[in-house]
Structure 1
Amino acid sequence: MANTGLQVMGLVLGVAGWVFGILVCAAPGWRVSAFVGDELVVSQVLWEGLWMTCLSQWGRLQCKVYDSGLALSGSAQMCRGLSVLSLLLCLLALPLSVTGLKCTRCLGDAHETKARLGRVGAALFLAAAIFFLLPVCWTAYVVIRDFYDPNVAAPLKRELGPALYLGWGVTVLMLVGGALGVKDINLDKLCPSAHL
């Protein structure tokens, strides 16, 4: 029974990571501009994401989708591709993980087949976590590198946006969700006296 609980918890965490990953991927808050020179400008903030930029000015928010994906830098295109690949892997992992749960009756008494499907689904959640972590870490690296680079003009410097922090949280959800489903724990071998 404990195995089923861990499997369900892993599935719930993996699905939560997938849902929040969609929100993070669509959010324009990957990079935030709030500095001009050495002074903080509170009336105007530029938010940049993978798909659009938004300008917040005196409480009004104006968003604009990028005109061309091919006009973006190579690293922005790579971040887009990896995050979409991660979300697609989660979409593929979801039915496999549900089918592989011990508490479902999808395949009847085919326990070994169900266990394999559950492990494949969990491994896909782990792969999705890695593919989601790469663009988040790469964007954070580029933002920090450019912020401390004296050759980058002050108005072009950016800060880490809230979507990056949420992206790290999404990665943890996917990793823990996948890790709970990868290894099928046999309690009889770990603790033979558990059924006494």
Structure 2
Amino acid sequence: MVFLTAKLVQRLALFVSFGGLVITFVTTFLPLWKTLNTDLNEMENWYEGLWHTCIFQDELGLQCKAFESFLALPGDVLASRVLMFVSIGTGLLSVAVGFFGLDGVELGPGRQRLKRALLILGGVLSWVSGVTTLLPVSLVAYVTVVEFWDESVPDIVPRWEFGEALFSGWFSGLFLVLGGSFLFVSVCMRDHGHRRATLPGCQGKPRKPQYRKTEVL
């Protein structure tokens, strides 16, 4: 497509990666990773995240309480905390590194190879950020499913279910992976454009007019 240039793909990649980073940051601190509703009291809804356990009541509203002990955290919650922080850190580095590799951002003369390396590094960091977002979200979802179908727990005991933060985490991870992929595509497009510019037939030389010889009888 004519309008799909390397510069446009680069900016689209940073926009998608930055959007995924913002959603990842919000997802990390949302207390909506798991939700629970009891049949005995339908006016109460319980929510649990990586940092808080909350209860919503119609009369009192939302009340949250932080986990008291760091050492008493379940293994999946502790691992999810670490991975989400790694995702935020690598996502910030990805956006910063990718910005300095954009076409139009001056780093000095003769720095095209450096800018190409920055775009590749930004794509790798964005992929790492996306994977480290998808892993904790999928881990919490897996543990929730296993505990929901645990036959050793009596049926009268309420079970945790998926919260909205899990779905936002999956979307943010996919956005980060997609943004990194767009950065790789922009590098390939720019390399292809440079190769075409160096070909003998693509130097932009004026072509001699060709005339067809005709005979008049």
Q: State the shift of 1:157 in Å.
A: 1.4
Q: What is residue 51 of structure 1 aligned with on the other side?
A: 51
Q: Alpha carbons of 1:158 and 1:104: their partners in 2 closer, same or farther (altered >3 Å)?
A: same
Distance, in Å, in 2 between the alignment partners of 1:82 and 1:168 is: 14
Q: Alpha carbons of 1:144 and 1:61: their partners in 2 closer, same or farther (altered >3 Å)?
A: same
Q: Alpha carbons of 1:74 and 1:107: their partners in 2 closer, same or farther (altered >3 Å)?
A: farther
Whichever of the two has the greater Rg, that structure is 2
Q: What is residue 153 of structure 2 aligned with on the other side?
A: 152
Q: State the shift of 1:156 in Å.
A: 4.9
Distance, in Å, in 1 between the alignment partners of 2:105 and 2:148 is: 51
The Cα offsets for residues 79-98 of structure 1, whole Å up to 9 and x where unpaired, read as: 11011111111111121110
Of the three residues 148, 151, 175, the one matched with 1:173 is 175
Unaligned runs of 5+ in 1: none
Distance, in Å, in 1 between the alignment partners of 2:58 and 2:137 is: 29
For normalisation by structure 1, the TM-score amounts to 0.89
> Which secondary structure state, in structure 1, belongs to the residue aligned with residue 188 of structure 2?
coil
Q: Any conservation in 2 of the 1:120–1:182 contact (CA below 8 Å)? A: no
Q: What is residue 9 of structure 2 aligned with on the other side?
A: 6
Q: Alpha carbons of 1:173 and 1:69: their partners in 2 closer, same or farther (altered >3 Å)?
A: same
Q: Alpha carbons of 1:149 and 1:195: their partners in 2 closer, same or farther (altered >3 Å)?
A: farther
* CA RMSD of superposed structures (Å): 2.3
For normalisation by structure 2, the TM-score amounts to 0.81
Paired residues for 1:100-179 under 5 Å? 100-153=101-154, 154-179=156-181
Distance, in Å, in 2 between the alignment partners of 1:177 and 1:117 is: 14
User: How many residues are paired up?
Assistant: 192
Unaligned runs of 5+ in 2: 205-217
- Say which structure is richer in helix: 1
Q: Aligned residues: percent identity?
A: 27
Distance, in Å, in 1 between the alignment partners of 2:90 and 2:153 is: 37
Distance, in Å, in 1 between the alignment partners of 2:159 and 2:202 is: 59
Report the residue type matching 2:172 in the other structure: V
